Homo-oligomer: A and B are copies of this chain.
Amino acid sequence: MSSSYGDHFRMTVFGQSHSPAIGVTIEGIPAGVTLDFERLQRFLNRRAPGNNDWSTARKEKDRPEFISGLRGETTCGTPLTVLIRNTDTRSQDYEELSHVPRPGHADYTAFVKYSGFQDYAGGGHFSGRLTAPLCVAGGICLQLIGREGISVVSRIAQIGTVFDRGELTESTAEKEFPVVDDERGKAMRDLIAEVKADGDSVGGIVECAVLGVPAGLGDPMFDGMENRLAKMLFGIPAVKGLEFGAGFSFAGMRGSESNDAFFLQDEKVVTKTNRCGGILGGITNGMPVRFRVAFKPTPSIAGEQRSVDLRSGKECTVKVHGRHDPCIVVRAVPVVEAAAAVAVYDALLQRRKELG
């Protein structure tokens, strides 16, 4: 089903930007896992809005409320439902959206799909706010895969025309503004401030690596590790591109350049290069799983844009109100990590069955 993900760790994300709450229902978490709620909250805070210059003015504390699936702080094996209340909603900002779609948003396509009954306030189920429950599920998965020595790190690789330099490492990922080269990070923040001042927005790229993944995860042909990550990552609003390892650069390469030769290191098969992004034939090879995700600019911009009034059937203009991020990329970093963690944990459960 559409807002669900996973074969073994099965989560369903629910809620709209302005419904009483948003949340997630999860099946498949093993019994007996004691959750670290503080660590989960710290993870959610990285995504929460209103915390800094580059995010929307909407303020939400994003405190998860556990409804079921626990006995005390430990999972009991049955479905886990978590809510996050919506508090700072201003539905009056959105009346016009019921019939005048904003360019670049899902307003028009939601109108068609739900025959005019879509919950348009704040973008409804299409709001970036729905990444909060995804981060709850992902934050739990990060704890689950962490027990098996797997971690997820990421950085901002590009914002607008500013590229980060250097190699992604664990220490990069711990920064508040995760780039290798802090000077470039400063340039990115300046660019965000500039587009914000212009009432404009800007896109970017997040690079992510999953470290410590065992060889053997992923199930070809259509549940390979790339397919699993792709199905998940394109569920994050604004994602329009995805590449693994050398990705699009492979197109310009020859096989003699692109193959990663095998070596032995401490009796383990390794590759020194990692152009394949840790995945061959859809299955992890034990090297880090590396991928890059392209985000389009937030479609909410200040100026007047051309649109169509679906009620009157006439062309018109629209001005976007409400509170928005000038650049979604920064807050998207933990969302990409959450998404990766869910995809990897689900593949891990599949693998566990095989190893029996």
B235 and A315: CB pair below 8 A? no
Cross-chain contact of A352 among B27, B121, B247, B353 (Cβ < 8 A): B353
Asked if A215 is at the interface of the complex by the 8 Å CB criterion, the answer is yes
User: Interface digits, A6-38 against B, CB 8 Å rule (1 contact, 0 not)?
Assistant: 011010111110011111010110111000000
- Bound-complex Cα distance A271 to B1 (A): 29
**In the complex, what residue of chain B is closest to A272 when comparing beta carbons?**
B306
Interface contact B23-A262, CB-CB below 8 Å: no
CB-defined contacts of A118 to chain B, threshold 8 Å: 31, 71, 76-77
A230 to chain B: closest residue by CB: B230
Considering only residues 55-106 of chain A, those with a C-beta below 8 Å from chain B are: 65-71, 74-81, 83, 101, 103-106
A20: which B residues are within 8 A, CB to CB? 65-68
Residues 37-65 of chain A, each 1 if its beta carbon lies under 8 Å from chain B, else 0 = 00000000000000000000000000001
Given the known interface contacts A108-B262, A241-B244, the answer about A12 and B32 at a Cβ–Cβ threshold of 8 Å is no
Q: Is there an interface contact between A215 and B101, defined as CB atoms closer than 8 Å?
A: no
In the complex, what residues of B have CB within 8 A of residue A5's CB? 221-222
A281 and B76 contacting across the interface, CB-CB below 8 Å: no
Interface-located stretch among A168-176, A178-186, A290-298 = A290-298
Docked-complex contact A106 and B256, CB < 8 angstroms: no
Q: Are B215 and A224 in contact (CB under 8 A)?
A: no
Residues of B within 8 A of A281 (CB): 105-106, 109-110, 126, 237
Question: How far, in whole Å, are A282 and B2 apart by their CA atoms in the complex?
Answer: 10
Indicate if A167 sits at the interface (CB-CB under 8 A): no
| A131-153 near B? 1/0 per residue, CB < 8 Å | 00000000000000000000000
Residues in B with CB closer than 8 Å to A4 are 10, 27, 222
- The total of chain A residues at the interface (CB under 8 A) is 152
CA distance A254 to B160 in the complex (A): 7
Q: A344 to chain B: closest CB distance in Å?
A: 15
Q: Is A211 engaged at the interface, CB distance under 8 Å to the other chain?
A: no
Bound CA span A121–B222, Å: 21
Contact B67 A83 (CB under 8 A): yes
238-263 of chain A: CB within 8 A of chain B: 239-248, 250-263
Residue in chain B with minimal CB distance to A356:
B352
A274 at the binding interface (Cβ < 8 Å): no
Cα-based distance from A79 to B21 in the complex (angstroms): 12
Most buried by B among A219, A246, A255: A255
Q: A1-B223, A79-B3, A299-B259 are in contact. Are A8 and B353 (CB under 8 A)?
A: yes
Among residues of B, the one whose C-beta sits closest to the C-beta of A2 is B219
Beyond A1-B219, A78-B114, A105-B281, 7 additional pairs, beta carbon < 8 A: A3-B27, A7-B7, A23-B81, A25-B81, A106-B281, A161-B252, A242-B243
7 A-B pairs with CB atoms under 8 Å apart are: A20-B65, A109-B283, A201-B255, A205-B248, A230-B234, A240-B250, A253-B297
A-B pairs, top 5 by smallest CB distance, nearest first, are A106-B281, A2-B219, A241-B243, A109-B283, A230-B230
